[in-house]
Structure 1
Amino acid sequence: MPRKLKILFLSLAGIFLCLFLFMTGMFFWMRGSLPQLTGSIQIESLQKKVEVIRDTDGLVTIKAQNTSDAYKALGFVHAQDRLWQMDFMRRAGSGRLSEVVGEATLNIDKFMRTLGFQKLVESNYEMLPPKVQKAFEAYSAGVNEYISNHASTLSPEFHLLNYQPEEWRPTDSLLWGRLMGLQLSDNFNRELLRQRLLQHLPTEDIDDLWPQDNNDPTIIPQLDLSKASQKEIFAGGHPLPWTLAPKDASNAWVVSGDKTATGKPILANDPHLALDAPGPWYLVRIETPDYTWAGASSPGVPFIILGHNSHIAWGFTTTHSDTQDLFIEQVNPDNPNQYLTPEGYKDFKEKIETILVKDQPSQAFPVRKSRHGPILTPVLSNSPILNNSGNKTDEHLLALAWTALREDDLTAQALYDINFATDAKDFAQAVKNFHSPQQTLVMADRQGNIQLMAPGRVPVRQQGDGRYPVSGWTQENDWIGIVPFKDLPQSLNPRDQKLVTANNKLIGDDYPYLIAKDWPNSYRAKRIHQLLDKKAKLSVDDNLAIQMDTLSIAALEMLDILSDTPAADLKSEAIKQKLSRWDGQLTLDATEPAIFYHWIYWLNQAAFGNLPTDASSFQTPNILRLQRRLVESPNSWCVYGEKLVNEDNCVAQMTESLRRVASNYTQLEKDNTWGELHSTTFQHQIFDRIPILGELLKLKIATPGGHDTVNRASPSMKSGNLWRFPNVHGPSYRAVYDLDNLDNSRFLIATGQSGNPLSKFYGNFLLRWRDGNYVKLDGKNTSGQNQRLMLNNK
């Protein structure tokens, strides 16, 4: 070998060896970020010893002698496994992400500062009774014990972003509730969309885009109030990314002992949220002399959010009530610091917020409030005020009124009281303080009672139905009160022995208040009712099977209508024949769902492809009910869509959409099952933005189901995804509670217990979650492989 070539070879070998040694050293150093799971740790604030047991799946059992120590231990354990997630949550809620992330999150921070969550939770905390404050203080002490005294390095995200976590404060835990309220309240986002659509469509066509489902199963026997006044102004879009933006859905049901094999109630619940890594829930069992809790905790919060307490079991779904209104405030043309009220011009309340930005100068911006709430216009996506130069001021601004922005919100107290309720009466008393967001709660107790309640503050409007922004300079559209708690939807021990809520309409037409004008469709609720009625006596296993059901009533109804579409060729006819034999099951290995959703994709383009700014708003999984409405009303079909063929005939557009599917029939039949096209990728807020590392740490799995199946798995229909319909929204948690023996209850979370990708518990639940392989939190797994950690007082 020539000498120069030999030197080059040795140099490259040396570089690769150094790189290998460096990467190996980094790996083992970062392995040190995994928490101590065995032995003992001294914690200063404990009253007595606490035992923390992790089984082979990472499921945690905390054994404490009192509730204060239990809260401290939970805070410590949450911090061990999910500290960065907790810190990201509080930074997001308080508008402080840019301090550690940089300019990329500046708009999120501005929006959160505008809402004022940090100041709000401080006021909320002062309203809580001492016993609840002490619970938050104990939890914070546990978190801070880990932050201050952890023996190892912190999880990788802290090193990638190069910062250290601050001390945890009790009010930080309350930020979780405000963020959840934001994710579960979609009203102002809908108002923004409708207002933008006014630039393109008449109001009657906009109304058609939210078809009413006249066959919704209702639970409790809405008075349709007068039309909202409208003023055409420009409205920007929702500024938050998918993870934080509003989303809908969840399932919950409960059946009485008369319908079960054991003679005691069974309750099931699966809340649907964005599919992130790590997920929002942490499974835990907490044992004290007086109570045993088991279920879903949320890192950052001291209470069980969804679960049982050895006396009752409970679950939540989103009610979809309209608790937000946008008010158009008229600015004084002679003084931009004032806006018009019924009593004349008044000054905006204004505060200067300063946001620290990593590696950039800090940014100060004004946050203004009117009598209705914070002014959102400057922080809406694509809002003109963001693009104006000089001193131009808009004549009108949008203010947000929202029940979740009240300083006397006591939802945290309600969660605390639910955790200690022992029967239906206690539960009903506890939820009186559940103020926001409005949720539909189901409960069962050991005495055999089943109950549904929809607590929360719902506004009573002077007029209007909350669908469009309304003028704020008169009193005509103001809120004049809150729906009394006693009049909110509720049911105790109904005659048909079951209660089902899947975001469907809760009330009948004779209900005296406006809860919402628009309700999600009822397909999941209908299917749950069908399955509950199949057997006279239901078991726990029967309810587990219902949660995993993948039949789409919506798809079958849509196919009944599409079957009349004229076929342009033999391949198109073959598509129709194949789909006519499909049973509506969206299983992993089925090919029919892939063909069906390709057809829906092209129908979607034909319906909305020419809406220049809002097409993406209708490239959504909830398209089936909407398209059914449009197909059934051919006069409105294809008016705003992309012309797939050069004809104005809507039937021709439908035929062409079928032909486009048929042109790829061979490839669809040969290469793609629904599971392959419909995989789920769990998004991580930091790792996914780093090349190579993001791919190495990605949690991805093929999934069954669809938007309208009980096993919710919403496929994205966005343009550009022609060959992929990724699952972007589904059950973050599943549970079925057996009130005959609560230790026989079953649980699942979507990813794993740990938030550290180097942990074996980071994604170990992925297959279990997909396939419905549930676990128990019974505290009886005494395997020698369990890891035991003793927390002792210093």
Structure 2
Amino acid sequence: MRTLKKLGFILLLLITILVIATGVIVYTLKPDYSGEQELVHLQKEVKVYYDTYGIPHIYGENEQDAFRTLGYVHAQDRLWQMELLRRIASGGLSEVFGKDLVGTDKFFLSLGIADASKKTVANSNRNDEGVVLAEAYLDGINQFIKEGPTPVEFYLTGIDKKEFVLEDVYNTIGYMAFSFAMAHKTDPLLTTINAKLGPEYLKDLSISSDTTTVWIENYNPSQKDSLQNNLTAVVNKALGVLNVPLFEGSNSWVIAPEKTKNGKVILANDPHIGFAQPSVWYEAHIETPTYSKYGYHIAGIPFPLLGHNRASAYGITMFENDDVDFYYEQNNPENDGQYLTSNGYVDYEIVEKTIKVKDTSSVEFTYKKSVHGPILNGIADQIQDERPIAMSWIYTQMDNKVIDALFGLSHSNTLSEFRAALPNIHAPGLNIMYGDAEGNVGWFASAQLYSIPDSINTKMIYEVGKGLPIEKELLAFNQNPQAINPPSNYVYSANNQPDSIAGMLYPGYYLPENRAKRIVELLEPKNDWDKESVSDMITDVTSAIDPVIVSNLSKYIDINLLSENGLRVIDSLKMWNGDYKLVSSEATVFNRWIYHLLKNTFKDELGEDLFNQLLTTHFVKRLIAPLSKNENSVWWDNVNTNEETERMAAIVNKSFTDAIASLEKDFGANGENWQWEKVHTIEHEHPIGQIETLRSFFNVGPYPIEGGREVINNLAFSYDDTGYYKTSSGPSTRRVIDFSDVENSISILPTGQSGNPFSSHYKDQAEMYVNGEFRKMMMNETEIKNTSNSILIFSPNQ
């Protein structure tokens, strides 16, 4: 008995020690939101008030002090995210995660982002205001690295903390510019389809500009008054392993005073970005005598991409323009170190790189560059011995002034100041949305555009000696699509096709009209918009297009082929209004039907790999509605049957019965059990959450969630054989800024403000986000100070 008591006492002691040790670890690793700190180079005291959701409200006497403080508090919540993002473009992931990431590092090194960053920093003027503030921000990050607790991810991966430099800022910007990688997914796939099946198979894929769709109209008062390879698979593999945010789409609209209840501008914005944990945005509110901004920051970038103050507000969506071109090169048959130009064969430039790899020796890596850009062959085994393909990307070819642009946008208070900063954005292409307290609204497609003859198809890999010239005819910014205070009294963007630019429809990877049509049909008739009605609209889950697709397809359904259950389902679908509520069974049936329709239509011609690649592109979303009414499409023919031509009706009926059979298998014959909440979920994945034992600690979710593909509340997913729709991207924040009550504007983040899993703000907004709720973006100084959860005071280092 004494032995048992002794063993029990020892066990209790060990548990107590473990609990104490765990408590100490948690205490030492969590962010410090209160107390006093000293900052080097600080001129005067800065106070940081943290609100209920962990958002810092920074009050300083000058901008350098405020941005230095921002760097520190940003790092203590997001240092791991900063570390990961700066490593992507510079080929540093293998050093963290091991040899499995060597292919990804090779791919990003070959893009040339890191080399372009070095060149930009070497040519930068360190006295420019934007650079000065960026350096102050980096000083704050680096002091936290020296003195603050090390995030748990550094211990788990075994890497050391290293100082941040200006190149890291540009590398992160470069990765964000690339993360809209639709050209890399689309152009090689279309080239393969053209070569394998012929040009007639491209006609029904909705890859060209569409003159019948809902598009964004230009309006400029001043002007009007005066007037075959596997590259796709390589990209998918490179990006798929990261679990970091990728820009994909977005909604935004800005309503002029004439259409609002209180006679003031209202701006709404929800950028669509790939979900990850932590989420992409870090919110921070800064007040100094010369600067006031409530901003949304990307880890490692000092200036907000989204922001507002009492004078103006701005947001972004992806422009989706085509700024990447691919060229076949012709090797010298006697010397594969040379390629053909108009002046004969010339040597490739050979670029040498070294990739550090965790737990093994470094990898020496070389790639070739032609006059068009890097040769992408050789960066992965899949494309070793095929025709050389060069990539021309405008981001790495022009002077990078993005820091100047972000500084200008964040420091502007008038429409003219704001517009003056926009030409400094050459890539990625962004729709910049604007509204102000004076009643102005604006939409600006911001990118360096260039003239493209109608005869050139930019979505194919150019043959040798063809395609766009190296020296492009650049368009002036006033030729970009834009609208300022249009007669409609609103501007909007849903990544849909813009109106003509300089007399032409600029090629791009635009998304279908679905969200645009719904936005317009909601905005147009109503003239008493307020914050509440706009917040309802930004969480809208009704499709304007899906019921039309159902109507088109149901015309071909043969009811004699349907079971009793099938008859009930098709009748229910015909009455569906297109909503993606949790209880909707129609949404579940529709998406199963569409997947089987795509599979039965395209897979026989494309095969498994190309079909799966097709599902990752934007144009597969664009083609569904047109295909649903095009009974003459060449794709309806099933090449695996003896019939010369397979009618559309046969494919439609087979796809519907396949969908019903799969749902009955998964959930039983009772259609009431096929609710959307059972198949549509969201989980915010941390890179380390891929380890199953750590998943519940680092990942957030999963939760059932409303919304779906191409509704305003665009909780998107990919199709596959499982019939389950794991949300991959969606609103990275939802913001509503009402200038009639700007201090009570509202927003939400998908998980929480902090990326530190020991912080109470790691996931404190996750359920609110899923439920479509909002919280206040606090700007009133008295309210902030009276209600703050904690105060962190920074003093000059003596």
Q: Is this a same-fold pair by TM over 0.5? A: yes
What pairs up with 1:764-783 in 2 under 5 angstroms? 764-779=764-779, 780-783=783-786
Partner of 2:312: 312
Q: 1:790 to 1:646 in 2, by over 3 A?
A: farther
* Number of residue-to-residue matches in the alignment: 765
Change (3 A) 1:649 1:465: closer
Equivalence for 2:478: 486
CA distance change for structure 1 residues 124 and 407 in 2, over 3 Å: closer, same or farther? farther
C-alpha change, 1:17 and 1:573, in structure 2 (3 Å) is farther
Q: 1:513 to 1:535 in 2, by over 3 A?
A: closer
* Offset of residue 89 of structure 1: 0.6
Farther off after superposition, 451-460 or 107-116: 451-460
| Cα distance in structure 1, aligned partners of 2:467 and 2:537 | 49
* Aligned residues of 1:61 and 1:284 also touching (Cα < 8 A): yes
Q: Compared with structure 1, are the counterparts of its residues 252 and 785 closer, same or farther at alpha carbon in structure 2 (3 Å cutoff)? A: closer
CA distance in 2, matches of 1:641, 1:762: 52
Alpha carbons 2:245, 2:275 under 8 Å: kept? no
Per the TM alignment, residue 533 of structure 1 is displaced from its structure 2 partner at its CA by 2.2
SS at match of 1:590: coil
2:573 corresponds in structure 1 to 579
Structure 2 CA distance for partners of 1:148 and 1:707, relative to 1, 3 Å: same
The corresponding residue for 1:662 is 660
Specify the SS of the correspondent of 2:329: strand
Structure 2 match to 1:671: 673
| 2:29 aligns with one of 30, 33, 39 | 33
Which residue, 494, 499, 512 being the options, matches 2:491? 499
The offset of 1:116, in angstroms, is: 2.1
Q: Please state if 1:614 is matched with 2:617.
A: no
Measure how far apart 1:505 and its partner are.
Answer: 1.0
How far apart are 1:771 and its partner, in Å? Answer: 2.1
Q: Note the C-alpha offset of 1:246.
A: 6.2
Shift of 1:25: 2.5
* 1:595 aligns to 2:568 (yes or no): no
Q: Deviations over 1:406-449 (max 9, x none)?
A: 25121110110011111111111111211111111111122211
Question: Are the equivalent residues in 1 in contact too, given 2:595–2:719 (CA < 8 A)?
Answer: yes
The 1:337–1:100 alpha-carbon spacing in structure 2 relative to 1, beyond 3 Å, is same
**How far does residue 696 in structure 1 lie from its aligned partner after superposition?**
4.0
The CA distance in 2 between the partners of 1:641 and 1:549, in whole Å, is: 41
* Distance across 2 between alignment mates of 1:751 and 1:554: 30
Q: Is the 8 A contact 2:71 2:138 kept in 1?
A: yes
Name the CA shift for 1:673/1:26 in 2 (closer, same or farther; >3 Å).
Answer: same
Matched residues in 2 for 1:475 and 1:562: separation? 39
Match of 2:267, as an amino acid? L
Match of 1:147 in 2: 145
- Structure 2 CA distance, aligned partners of 1:107 and 1:674? 37
Q: Percent same amino acid among aligned pairs? A: 27
Correspondence for 2:627 among 611, 630, 649: 630
**Take 1:495 and 1:338, find their aligned partners in 2: how far apart are those partners?**
57
- Give the conservation status (yes or no) of the 8 Å contact 2:511–2:621: no
Q: Is the 8 A contact 2:71 2:140 kept in 1?
A: yes
Change (3 A) 1:23 1:672: farther
Find the aligned partners of 2:121 and 2:102 in 1 and give their Cα distance. 27
Change (3 A) 1:489 1:653: closer
State whether structure 2 residue 397 is matched by structure 1 residue 410: no
Residue 504 of structure 1, CA deviation:
0.8
- The 5-angstrom pairing of residues 248-259 of structure 1 reads 248-259=248-259
Alignment partner of 1:184 is 2:187: no
Partner of 2:690: 689
Residues 1:644 and 1:579: Cα distance change in structure 2 (over 3 Å): farther
Pairwise CA RMSD: 2.8
Aligned match of 1:218: 215
Further displaced range: 347-356 or 641-650: 641-650
Q: Does 1:419 align with 2:410?
A: yes
State the shift of 1:678 in Å: 0.4
Cα distance in 2 between the residues matched to 1:375 and 1:530:
46
Output the CA distance in 2 between the equivalents of 1:746 and 1:358: 44
Aligned partner (choices 454, 462, 468) of residue 460 of structure 2: 468
Give the AA of the match of 1:691.
E
Q: Does 1:291 align with 2:296?
A: no
Q: Distance in 1 between matches of 2:622 and 2:181?
A: 21
Counterpart in 1 of 2:714?
712
Q: Which residue of 2 is the match for residue 651 of structure 1? A: 649
CA distance in 2, matches of 1:556, 1:275: 28
- Among 154, 162, 166, the alignment partner of 1:166 is 162
CA–CA separation in structure 1 for the residues paired with 2:301 and 2:579? 38
**Contact 2:545–2:625 (8 Å) recurs in 1:** no
**Contact in 1 for aligned 2:91/2:109 (Cα 8 Å):** yes
CA distance in 2, matches of 1:693, 1:476: 49
**Separation (CA, whole Å) in 2 of partners of 1:234 and 1:277:** 30
Counterpart-to-counterpart distance in 2, 1:189 and 1:314: 30
Q: Distance in 2 between matches of 1:20 and 1:359?
A: 36
CA–CA distance in structure 2, aligned partners of residues 655 and 15 of structure 1 = 66
Shift, 1:233, TM fit: 6.4
The question of 1:366 aligning with 2:366 is answered yes
Aligned AA (1:368):
K
Scaled by the length of structure 2, the TM-score of the pair is 0.90
1:27-66 → structure 2 map (5 Å cutoff): 28-66=24-62
Q: CA deviation at 1:234?
A: 6.7
Structure 2 residue matching 1:200: 3-state secondary structure:
helix
Give the 3 Å change call, closer, same or farther, for CA 662–582 of structure 1 in structure 2.
Answer: same
Deviation at 1:60, TM superposition (A): 1.6
Letter paired with 1:402: W
Q: CA deviation at 1:45?
A: 1.4
| CA displacement, residues 694-715 of structure 1 (integer Å, 9 cap, x when unaligned) | 1344312211111110010113
d(CA) in 1 for partners of 2:8, 2:329: 67
Deviations 1:454-511 (A, max 9, x none): 1211233465130101134468754532222121112211111111111111113x74
Q: Summarize the Cα distance change of 1:118–1:23 in structure 2 as closer, same or farther, 3 Å threshold.
A: farther
Q: Give the 3 Å change call, closer, same or farther, for CA 667–760 of structure 1 in structure 2.
A: farther
Q: Scaled by the length of structure 1, what TM-score is found?
A: 0.91
After superposition, where does 1:504-523 map in structure 2 within 5 Å? 504-508=496-500, 511-513=502-504, 515-516=506-507, 518-523=509-514
Give 1:301-450 correspondences, 5 Å limit: 301-380=301-380, 382-385=382-385, 396-450=387-441
Name which of 78, 81, 104 aligns with 1:85.
Answer: 81
Cα 1:649/1:528, change in 2 over 3 Å: closer
Q: Alignment partner of 1:457: what SS? A: coil
Alignment-derived partner of residue 222 in structure 2: none
Task: Report if aligned partners of 1:328, 1:470 keep a CA contact under 8 Å in 2.
Answer: yes
* Counterpart position of 1:390: none
Bigger mean CA offset, 673-682 vs 180-189: 180-189
Specify the alignment match of 1:119 in structure 2. 115
- CA displacement at 1:63 relative to structure 2: 0.8
Q: 1:343 to 1:642 in 2, by over 3 A?
A: same
Q: Is the Cα contact below 8 Å between 1:55 and 1:786 reproduced in 2?
A: yes
Structure 2 counterpart of 1:552, from 543, 551, 561: 543
Change (3 A) 1:447 1:558: same
**2:349–2:370: 8 Å Cα contact kept in structure 1?**
yes
Name the counterpart of 1:790.
Answer: 793
Offset, 1:15: 8.4
- Displacement, 1:641? 8.0
Distance, in Å, in 2 between the alignment partners of 1:289 and 1:518 is: 43
Asked if the contact 1:606/1:644 (under 8 Å) is kept, the reply is no
Per the alignment, in what secondary structure is the counterpart of residue 628 of structure 2? helix
Per-residue displacement from partner, 1:738-775 (whole Å, max 9, x unpaired)? Answer: 22332222111111111111221111111221222212
Closer, same or farther in 2 for the Cα pair 1:650/1:455, shift >3 Å? closer
Quote the offset at 1:309 in angstroms.
3.4
1:102 to partner: Cα distance: 0.8
Letter aligned with residue 700 of structure 2: L
Q: Aligned partner of 1:288: which letter?
A: T
Q: CA separation of 1:302/1:650 partners in 2, compared to 1, >3 Å: closer, same or farther?
A: same
Choose 567-576 or 417-426, whichever is displaced more: 567-576
Higher alpha-carbon deviation: 181-190 or 569-578: 181-190
Name the structure 1 match of 2:223: none
Question: 1 CA distance for matches of 2:446 and 2:280?
Answer: 23
- Secondary structure at 1:340 match in 2: strand
Q: Would the alpha carbon gap of residues 246 and 54 (structure 1) be closer, same or farther in structure 2, given more than 3 Å must change?
A: closer
Flag the 1:238–1:498 CA change in 2: closer, same or farther, 3 A: farther
